[in-house]
Structure 1
Amino acid sequence: MSEVAEGRQRRRRTDADRSVASILAAAREVLGTQAQASVEDIARAAGVSRQTVYAHFKTREALLSAVIDAVSEEAANEMAAARLDEGPAADAMLRLLDVGWQMFRRYPRLPAGAAEENDPEADRDRHSAVADHLDRLLTRGKESGEFDQELANPWLVNAIVALGHAAGHAVDAKQLTLEGGVDALAESVLRLCGAARRD
């Protein structure tokens, strides 16, 4: 391949990467507040045509899946930065839960859209980083005596994730205010772990 052809190919790849990044950024913003937004809505927000979106994502479901992957990676990175290995385990648990609430505030409608996706294996993969952080935190809390030893970590991890989803749905359905959801989740998780609430 000539240098000119290689240069053209590199430019096409760069343009394609830029287009995908623009589509994903727009999709995160649009789907984060309008779970039922159409591909046309996302294309408009990204400043590209509907055909361009479909050139990169064959279906709306494929685009939604890519958005959920990106948001899951964002959450995992923020959890990694939350100093979960420092200080009392109960305080670290509250920091971890706060990351979840920050994501909920950023993308309040995304959980409803995500529920439409019927891929339990993909959902497990997306939760694996959260599960790993929770498992390490629960082990640390049990070793320090802050958390009850009776319940196994896998059960606690699943229960905490389920409580997080339940709190988000309750806020979304206006059964709880955001502040009420934050408080209810924190109290429920710490009680489940056998720890006292730290204010």
Structure 2
Amino acid sequence: MSEKKPVRRRRADADRSRAAILAAAVELLDEHPDASLERIAEAANVTRQTVYAHFASRDALLNAVLAELTAETMKAIDDLDLDHGSALGNALGLIDLAWRTFEQHPILLHAGQTGTADARHDPLTERLEPLIRRGQRSGEITRDLSAPWLVTTLISLGHAAGESVAAGRLNPRTAYKSLHTTLTRILQP
């Protein structure tokens, strides 16, 4: 029996270390997208070896950060009531929430995610497509384009706006307004 307590404690310590590393990585990478693992370890108050024990590489840590931020965003989207009210308004509200996440976590603008085939988009697609279909049935959203194409378009334009901000071509506010206006025009019948 006494053998189980050290295992549990070691696991709890490992969980705390992993959480501290992820939290430090999110904060530091938002400010300094090129931050080293050493700087992240320092910010998390762990050794670099501890970081490597949890994440084999900087890319592995970056993927874990993106997965964490994706999970947080999807929870916030799930807190929206997408099944009721205006489908068009809900679709735009969902996009607004996603944009606020980009603004809150600039690492998402620098993470190099391109294209819509990224598996991180699957949960978003699973929520957007039924919403768009509902809007098409009610006449709020255009029926001239298929729901899957509209989802692809929304995600792609969101990335294009984010890339414009990351490249310094647009400021975040202008990019957001442009994105919102464009998506409204595309979705409306």
In 2, Cα distance between the equivalents of 1:115 and 1:148? Answer: 28
In 1, Cα distance between the equivalents of 2:112 and 2:71? Answer: 15
Structure 2 residue matching 1:127: 3-state secondary structure: helix
In 1, Cα distance between the equivalents of 2:145 and 2:93? Answer: 22
In 2, Cα distance between the equivalents of 1:168 and 1:131? Answer: 18
Instruction: Report the Cα offset of residue 175 of structure 1.
Output: 2.3
Residue 159 of structure 2 corresponds to residue 165 of structure 1: yes
Structure 2 residue matching 1:4: 3-state secondary structure: coil
Alpha-carbon contact 1:23-1:53 (below 8 Å) kept? yes
Q: 1:130-141 to 2 correspondence within 5 Å? A: 130-141=124-135
Of 78, 82, 85, 1:84 maps to 82
Instruction: Report the Cα offset of residue 132 of structure 1.
Output: 1.1
Question: Which structure 1 segments of 5+ residues have no match?
Answer: none
TM-score scaled by length of structure 2: 0.93
Instruction: Report the Cα offset of residue 13 of structure 1.
Output: 0.5
CA RMSD in angstroms, aligned pairs only = 1.8
Q: 1:70-149 to 2 correspondence within 5 Å? A: 70-115=68-113, 124-149=118-143
Alpha-carbon contact 1:31-1:113 (below 8 Å) kept? no
In 2, Cα distance between the equivalents of 1:104 and 1:110? Answer: 6
Question: Which structure 2 segments of 5+ residues have no match?
Answer: none
Tell me how many residue pairs correspond in the alignment: 189
Instruction: Report the Cα offset of residue 115 of structure 1.
Output: 3.5
Instruction: Report the Cα offset of residue 23 of structure 1.
Output: 0.5
In 2, Cα distance between the equivalents of 1:93 and 1:174? Answer: 27
Structure 1 residue matching 2:143: 3-state secondary structure: coil
Residue 182 of structure 2 corresponds to residue 188 of structure 1: yes
Structure 2 residue matching 1:189: 3-state secondary structure: helix
Instruction: Report the Cα offset of residue 16 of structure 1.
Output: 0.5
Instruction: Report the Cα offset of residue 187 of structure 1.
Output: 1.1
Instruction: Report the Cα offset of residue 85 of structure 1.
Output: 1.9
Alpha-carbon contact 2:110-2:166 (below 8 Å) kept? no
**Residues 167-192 of structure 1, C-alpha deviation per residue, up to 9 Å, x if partnerless?**
11222333223221121111111211
Amino acid at match of 1:109: I
In 2, Cα distance between the equivalents of 1:88 and 1:172? Answer: 32
Instruction: Report the Cα offset of residue 40 of structure 1.
Output: 0.7
Q: 1:22-33 to 2 correspondence within 5 Å? A: 22-33=20-31
Amino acid at match of 1:20: R
Amino acid at match of 2:52: Y
**Identical aligned pairs, as a percentage?**
40
Instruction: Report the Cα offset of residue 194 of structure 1.
Output: 2.4
